Structure 1
């Protein structure tokens, strides 16, 4: 089968550059290695006997393993001292990238111990998606004497290649003599192998059109196992809510995170292997990353990397429907992006004319920052206008002496379901995190004939990104200006106690103190009697309901009635006739 030998252009190495740990080699030895760049390499065979014997002789003489990488045109593109792992290409240097394609490079490496490919060699094969890894077991003969050196020859050859089966990862041939390997048809081997990968990739695309995600997270050694499981479970829910498909979860426990990549080198290599094996196209980190950490992870893994904050912002962007919701999400995204801008210095500079513009000019990075600053200032002005508009709406409600109860709680606690059940609001309900963003206010008639207003607000989450708190200040004011709060808790969630604490922490961090709270435990139809009994013991004043089934609504309405009466003394009296009907809000 004919093979497309066209290779995507990539940065060509210097023809005399030697990679890997080569300190201590003499200039003459380095020149001998450099000449390997100009030696002929077969196109339609794994390698030639002449090239293999020359590489084996050099490896024996230097008493160190050597690696040579060649492309499909028969050109040697890298010569290195050391193992394949020590001389490998970084993901951004590879000429071909993609889960359905091999890189278009093969590696010929020598080993002096005669043990065949090591685990590190096979890992380098997978990370670089090599066409093939050819291991030459070199037998050393002779002895070192003054003015002389060792010589060696190829004793046997191992061929390793990737397979599309994620369980097998790779296969290694039995040891073969050099003559047998040099006569094998490389084009036929490669054609069959790429056809297998192409079929596997097509099957994956048909199975799912969602982003294929790997999760990574870091925990201190002091973090309990239960806390880790709860946080990882929430991270999985966040990815699912964003439309992604979680393939595998990785986490690491250490005293301190790695300052450059968050996780250690060994765990990073494990994740990189899984990216290749499972065909992942996105890695999500459960911790907020610095710009340098995100960049280093992307270089090491070869796919896009986002952190938890960016993931939540993406979910908000997906859920925003109204103009004000989109406005606040864009502001939060720009505030997140601003400190993470990176540029290329003078390479992206622009020149101007006139006094003060000569020289390297203004870098593209500074230009981008100024554009974003202007956009942020414009959006903040619009959010201020939105705040003023909401303040006028609240003032109108206060003039009518209608008390307002805000529904608050952890995301996916069932606030929208409760609002719909009590008022018939018809807001979106979904078993997802952050299903609704825009606040919705509806009138609720109580058994006494009195009326209150219920306002559904955006759900909270632990460690809510500060950009969201700032951008959604107009929405969160619905919480701070409400007469009282109904704190809705999903009792069926194993982490419900942590959710209560997380919501309390966010409410305490708001610039204005909130009103009194009533705990409302939702989804009691999903929990055991023991869980409910424990919650009743811990929170004896709470109300227990099932918004989906309508359980406990009578007790909830009675509690709202009692609250309305207790709050009525705090409302300002109506102004007398002739004052325009305005309420004295002071």
Structure 2
């Protein structure tokens, strides 16, 4: 279809017709352009008094005509071929500009974002136009040829400290050329040489990659008003660990500071272009934001970036899906995923639903989107029923334990604080442990013998390891894992395990206490156990002892302070029962 893109305001029908005729042009495959095509494009540009862009594939076909500069007429990333960082996109742009000046950096940035084969700028001048046989003929004063450059071994690799103004990508632009010299350039030789070098560099950079299918991730962090620099950096470090736990490889992190998130794209328009260019530069296939995105924001970003965009909740859900081992865990994870997915089905949303009836809702039948929505809603209803049955089953199990009059202690804490390691050390539980976030999801209950704080007799208690908490635990997970989290609210007391070696240990304590405070039933008394004391310095230890004088300080892996913790647990249980 001969669609003209860009700013068409004020154009006459005859001018639009001239623009549409450009689609019928065919250029030789081995030439960047021809004098005839360039002159015709320049003539039309002067006639409409606006810059023009013609996008041409390697077969010499004009595939897109736009009114505006290269930065204004970019091809949406979703419509561009996705070859990866080792290839160019197979499209070149011939652009005009009415002022006699060197091309602006915004035009070169647009070339890089799209990974164009080449960008040709035709500088036109009005004084050189004359009428010949009733038609306008353009005079091209000078031309410029620009193209991307592959990275070299001597260049500094792209890192988080890379100057984002340069985007870590280089290009070259020729000095002013005559149209005759430009038209004689061997285009295929230029492109094939560039792509051969791009492929060679790509292979060198990724020779040691263990898994070629591994997600290559660009993280985007937004710092808004009210967020401290320390909290912001902790959040970025955490999302990096989440991506690593999910099996992705973090290539780079992009930061922006705004007073509030942009309602459509979270970050500003300029930063979106920077992210799109960085994605092309480093060969990322996934962009992860450090916050939750609305369905509209995710769709807008994907359409402009050309790669998948996920938020923090989706990464956590993916980890939970990988970690769930038991049928109960898998059930709760699937419920959380479907609850998250339902409002994010692409399309017109509720406007397409036939449930409302009335004008505008009748038609040939259910849409594919509505069919998917109904199927998900039916599955959600079944899963919700199964979770309710699971909740009832665990309630009966707890009642049986309570009949035996054995006190229960729920082990809670931030993810990767060492809860499962502590349970294994105390009870030989053999629960899976790893230096990863959310290594275990399913609650595990084991018996531990302690010495009664009053009578001195040996008596058993039940320790229940629970799912780890995290800052702003996603609501779908809280709802779906309520059957598991009830193990916390029903316990007689809680053992709050804190990773003292983590730089943000104080923030972790606040996050866990905030989640506990939102529980429908107020948990019992809490003993704070600071873990991994063998990995902290004396200043950190002194600060924790000053802030939490009633806490206990241990190292589960090195078996330090465990006897003191047993005594404190005995006192805690005695106090909880007395309540």
Question: Within 5 A, what are the aligned runs for 1:502-517?
Answer: 502-517=511-526
Give the one of 265, 271, 285 matched to 2:289. 285
Report the 3-state secondary structure (helix = DSSP H, G, I; strand = E; otherwise coil) of the residue aligned with 2:458: coil
Alignment match, 1:501: 510
The 8 Å contact of residues 524 and 576 in structure 2, kept in 1 or not, is answered as no
Shift of 1:568: 4.7
Provide, for residues 232-267 of structure 1, a one-character-per-residue CA deviation record: whole Å limited to 9, x for no partner: 111111111111111121232222321111111011
Alignment match, 1:6: none
Provide, for residues 473-497 of structure 1, a one-character-per-residue CA deviation record: whole Å limited to 9, x for no partner: 1111111111100011111222111
Question: Within 5 A, what are the aligned runs for 1:262-281?
Answer: 262-281=266-285
Alignment match, 2:467: 458
Report the 3-state secondary structure (helix = DSSP H, G, I; strand = E; otherwise coil) of the residue aligned with 2:41: helix
Shift of 1:320: 0.7
Shift of 1:371: 1.3
Report the 3-state secondary structure (helix = DSSP H, G, I; strand = E; otherwise coil) of the residue aligned with 1:85: coil
> Number of paired residues?
548
The 3 A distance-change label for structure 1 pair 54 and 513 is: same
Give the one of 17, 21, 25 matched to 2:7. 21
The answer to whether 1:51 aligns with 2:51 is: no
Report the 3-state secondary structure (helix = DSSP H, G, I; strand = E; otherwise coil) of the residue aligned with 1:159: strand
Question: Within 5 A, what are the aligned runs for 1:44-123?
Answer: 44-95=30-81, 97-123=83-109
Of 50-59 and 397-406, deviating more is: 50-59
Counterparts of 2:61 and 2:542, CA distance in 1: 74
Counterparts of 2:30 and 2:206, CA distance in 1: 31
Question: Within 5 A, what are the aligned runs for 1:102-181?
Answer: 102-141=88-127, 152-165=138-151, 167-181=168-182
Shift of 1:291: 1.0
Alignment match, 1:4: none
Question: Within 5 A, what are the aligned runs for 1:173-572?
Answer: 173-208=174-209, 209=211, 210-343=214-347, 359-447=363-451, 448-569=457-578
The 8 Å contact of residues 218 and 250 in structure 2, kept in 1 or not, is answered as yes
Shift of 1:502: 1.0
Counterparts of 2:18 and 2:483, CA distance in 1: 70
Provide, for residues 55-96 of structure 1, a one-character-per-residue CA deviation record: whole Å limited to 9, x for no partner: 233334444322111112211122222211111211122245
The 8 Å contact of residues 138 and 152 in structure 1, kept in 2 or not, is answered as yes
Counterparts of 1:345 and 1:529, CA distance in 2: 56
The 8 Å contact of residues 107 and 130 in structure 1, kept in 2 or not, is answered as yes
Shift of 1:156: 2.9
Give the one of 24, 28, 41 matched to 1:38. 24
Counterparts of 1:365 and 1:214, CA distance in 2: 30
Shift of 1:545: 1.0
The 3 A distance-change label for structure 1 pair 155 and 144 is: closer
Shift of 1:104: 1.7
The 8 Å contact of residues 61 and 152 in structure 1, kept in 2 or not, is answered as no
Report the 3-state secondary structure (helix = DSSP H, G, I; strand = E; otherwise coil) of the residue aligned with 1:84: coil
Shift of 1:48: 0.9
Report the 3-state secondary structure (helix = DSSP H, G, I; strand = E; otherwise coil) of the residue aligned with 1:141: helix
Report the 3-state secondary structure (helix = DSSP H, G, I; strand = E; otherwise coil) of the residue aligned with 1:461: coil
The 3 A distance-change label for structure 1 pair 136 and 405 is: same
Specify every segment of 5 or more residues in structure 2 that has no aligned partner in the other structure, as ranges. 152-157, 159-167, 355-360, 452-456
Counterparts of 1:284 and 1:431, CA distance in 2: 22
Shift of 1:564: 3.2
The 3 A distance-change label for structure 1 pair 515 and 212 is: same
Q: What is the TM-score of this pair, normalised by structure 2? A: 0.89
Counterparts of 1:172 and 1:261, CA distance in 2: 32
Specify every segment of 5 or more residues in structure 1 that has no aligned partner in the other structure, as ranges. 1-13, 351-356, 571-586
Report the 3-state secondary structure (helix = DSSP H, G, I; strand = E; otherwise coil) of the residue aligned with 1:68: strand
Of 558-567 and 116-125, deviating more is: 558-567
Shift of 1:32: 2.8
Counterparts of 2:287 and 2:350, CA distance in 1: 31
Counterparts of 1:82 and 1:110, CA distance in 2: 9
Report the 3-state secondary structure (helix = DSSP H, G, I; strand = E; otherwise coil) of the residue aligned with 1:446: strand
Shift of 1:315: 0.7
The 8 Å contact of residues 60 and 151 in structure 1, kept in 2 or not, is answered as no
The 3 A distance-change label for structure 1 pair 537 and 135 is: same
Shift of 1:332: 0.6
Q: What is the TM-score of this pair, normalised by structure 1? A: 0.88
Counterparts of 1:92 and 1:393, CA distance in 2: 52
The 8 Å contact of residues 218 and 251 in structure 1, kept in 2 or not, is answered as yes
Counterparts of 1:419 and 1:497, CA distance in 2: 23
Counterparts of 1:63 and 1:359, CA distance in 2: 46
Of 242-251 and 296-305, deviating more is: 242-251
Counterparts of 1:40 and 1:378, CA distance in 2: 59
